[in-house]
Amino acid sequence: TQLLEQSPQFLSIQEGENLTVYCNSSSVFSSLQWYRQEPGEGPVLLVTVVTGGEVKKLKRLTFQFGDARKDSSLHITAAQPGDTGLYLCAGARGSQGNLIFGKGTKLSVKP
């Protein structure tokens, strides 16, 4: 069974701090997607990474896909209260790319 382990599960930091969220697996994925989910809503896509070693930036968010395509990280620089939310990683597998999700990292940024 393919699993994606996310860490930490919970993270509470002060505004302006930096943080990194990790997503690890023993399995190789064809791509990995990061989503943000608000309570009672659907996951909203942040980024898709496809190539091993790939780095993508989205304003203060930096996403990296591991060289072996088994792990990924999300780094947020100078976190803002608006970054508060649940961050999910999801790896694509199968012939149609169905996603395996991690449990998520619940981030709280205090002003």
**Token pair for 105:** 């990292």
Q: Is 66 in the site for another protein (CB under 8 A)?
A: no
Which span (11-19, 27-35, 55-63, 70-78) binds another protein, by CB under 8 A?
27-35
Ramachandran area for residue 70 (φ above 0: left; ψ -120 to 50: alpha; else beta): alpha
Tell me how far apart the alpha carbons of residues 25 and 38 are, in angstroms, rounded to a whole number. 24
Q: How many residues sit in the footprint of another protein (CB under 8 A)?
A: 26
x/- site string to another protein, residues 30 to 59, per CB under 8 A?
xx-x-x----xxxxxx--x-x---------
